[in-house]
Structure 1
Amino acid sequence: MPIITLTTDFGLKDHFVSAVKGAIHSELDQITIVDISHDISPFHITEAAYILKNAYKSFPKGTIHIIGIDSELSPENKHIAVLLDDHYFICANNGLISLIASEYRPEKTVEINIHDAIGTNFPVLDVFVTVACHIARGGTLEVIGKTITDLKMIKGITPIVNVGDKQIVASILYIDNYGNLITNVTRKFFEDVGKGRNFKIMARTAVFEHIYEQYSDAINFDIEKSKREEDGKKLAIFNSSGYLELAIYKSNPRTVGGASSLFGLHYQDTVSIIFEEEDV
């Protein structure tokens, strides 16, 4: 049975998500629809890209992903369908799949050209659903669009390395539900540049000199609970997605605050990683 996923910034208050699901069920008798997220910040392409990158790989190959973020058709915002890493992605050509395309070369990309046959001001409901159902029935991409090679890429998703590999200038790529700060530095990138050298991570006034494997590693459980440093403990970790994350142990942005509020850092703010000079 085909699987179609939905990733949007629609939220759940309005009718949009249910209308899209109803349209899919009206076209296909046998289909599984999975919500990845409908809580993407409005028009936040990078946030959607990060969430999608870390979700899609858990689905079977051949899954069809509808992405409703900044999807209104315009001369600068064309609609595309992409076969990438054996998954199908239907979205606007606005950089949304940059993080995935930075690791895998698209197998096929078409610019969707069926709009004249579908008058609409809600492209996710009409155009994207039509394309997804066409693919789910076994249809080819060439039928719904012309082949293109130009995929827009999001700027700033790659960290900068200063001369001599002495410093990585990173930026905040995503802030999760706990207020944790996910940078654009992957474990592989960090290790390739750092080559095992000692380092300092500078996030405004917060300094980190160690990266933990898991959150609880930052807590010394040999100390009696009432005396150990636990609440508000800052830490750096390579998260389950392989990105360098700056966090507060068991944070809650709604009460005690999270890394974003406590460190005063937000989306696209910079973080410096300084490596010590190697002994000669």
Structure 2
Amino acid sequence: MSLITLTTDFGTKDHFVGAVKGAIYTELPDVKIIDITHHITPFNITETAYILKNAYKSFPKGSIHIVGVDSELSIENKHIALELDDHFFVCPDNGLISMIASEINPTKIVEINIHDRIQSSFPVLDVFVQVACHIARGGNLGVIGKEIKEYKKLVEIQPKVNQTQTIINGGVIYIDNYGNVISNISKKMFNEIGKGRPFKISARRYSFSKIYSRYNEFVDFSVPEERRRNDGERLAIFNSAGFLEIAVYRSNLTTVGGASSLLGMDYRDTISIEFETIKSPEFTTLN
């Protein structure tokens, strides 16, 4: 049985998601449809890339992922279908695929060319569904478009390293449901650039000199629970997706607040890591 996932910024109030699912079931009554999310911040390509990168790997090989974010066809925003890591993606060529393809090169990319026989202001419904169903039936990508070698790169997804390899300048790419601030700095990059050197993380007016491996790692569990005062403490952590995250322990957005609100940080704000060049007491190492 084929499996198709949906990732969109449609929300669930309107008819869009239901219409897309209905069109897929009309073509393939036995298909399995999974919602990754329909609550992407409207037109937020970076957020889409982060969520998709961390979700698609959990699905079986051969899964087909429809991505409907900023999907209106234009000269600058073509539609593509590609095979990557034994998965298929049907999406706009607006840069969202570049976070996934930064580590794994696509096997094949085609520019979808069925638009000349389909005029639509809702391409996810009228174009992406047809392409996904064609792939699910075992159809070749070459039938739906001409092969291309390049896709649009989203520059802001990639952090920058200075010439002396002492500073990584990254940025906020996602605020999660707990208000935690997630950067585009990966653990892999941190290790490759840092090479075990002492470091200091800067985020707004706050700094961190340690990166935890678990949210509760700093809690002293030998102290009775009623005497602990850890809720609301700030910490840096490499999250389950392998990206540097600034978090608030046991954050509650209605009472304690999340890292985003408490630190005054938002999408695209700067997070940087400075590595020691000369031994200095203000730097400490990652345990």
TM-score (structure 1 length as normaliser): 0.97
Structure 1 contact 9–38 (Cα < 8 Å) conserved: yes
- 1:209 aligned partner: 209
CA deviation after TM superposition for structure 1 residue 190, in Å: 0.5
1:109 corresponds in structure 2 to 109
C-alpha distance after superposition, 1:182-204 (max 9, x if no partner): 11111111011111111111111
Q: What is the aligned partner in structure 2 of residue 13 from structure 1?
A: 13
Contact 1:4/1:32 (<8 A) preserved: yes
The runs of 4+ residues in structure 1 deviating greater than 3 Å are none
Deviation at 1:152, TM superposition (A): 0.2
Does the CA contact (< 8 Å) of 1:197 and 1:278 recur in 2?
A: no
User: CA–CA distance in 2 between the matches of 1:57 and 1:117?
Assistant: 34
Q: Aligned residue for 2:246?
A: 246
| C-alpha distance in structure 2 between counterparts of 1:66 and 1:256, whole Å | 37
Report how many aligned residue pairs link the two structures.
279
Corresponding residue SS for 2:157: coil
The alpha carbon displacement at 1:4 in A equals 0.3
Residue 183 of structure 1 aligns with which residue? 183
Q: Which letter maps to 1:121?
A: S
Aligned-residue offset at 1:166: 1.9
The equivalent of 2:48 in structure 1 is: 48
Is the CA contact (8 Å cut-off) linking 1:63 and 1:87 kept in structure 2? Answer: yes
Please say if 1:159 is aligned against 2:133: no
Provide the residue aligned with 2:93 in structure 1.
93
1:198-228, CA deviations, whole angstroms, 9 ceiling, x for partnerless residues?
Answer: 1111111222111111101021222233433
Distance in 2, matches of 1:40 and 1:276, equals 38
Q: Deviations over 1:90-126 (max 9, x none)?
A: 0111001111110111111111111122222111011
1:144 aligned partner: 144
Of 217-226 and 94-103, deviating more is 217-226
Contact 1:219 1:229 in 2 (8 A): no
Residue equivalent to 1:133: 133
- Corresponding residue for residue 231 of structure 1: 231
What residue is the counterpart of 1:222 in the other structure?
Answer: 222
Q: Unaligned stretches of 5+ in structure 1? A: none
Q: Percent identity?
A: 62
How does 1:2-41 map onto structure 2 within 5 Å?
2-41=2-41
- How far apart in 1 are the matches of 2:276 and 2:150? 40
TM-score with structure 2 setting the length: 0.94
Alpha-carbon RMSD = 1.2
1:272 paired with 2:277, answer no
SS of alignment partner, residue 131 of structure 1 = helix
1:247, distance to aligned residue in structure 2 (A): 0.1
Q: Residue 164 of structure 1 aligns to a residue in which SS?
A: coil
Partner of 2:282: none
Could you say what secondary structure the match of 2:82 adopts? strand
Which stretch of structure 1 is more off in the superposition, 137-146 or 219-228?
Answer: 219-228
Between the aligned partners of 2:217 and 2:247, the Cα distance in structure 1 is 13
| CA distance in 2 between partners of 1:224 and 1:162 (Å) | 46
Q: What does residue range 43-82 of structure 1 map to in structure 2 within 5 Å?
A: 43-82=43-82
Cα deviations across residues 21-72 of structure 1 (Å, max 9, x unaligned)?
0000000121000000000000000000000000000011110000000111
Q: Which moved more, 1:269-278 or 1:51-60?
A: 269-278
Q: 1:241 offset after TM fit, Å?
A: 0.4
Q: CA offset at residue 278 of structure 1?
A: 4.8
- Report the AA paired with residue 67 of structure 2: I
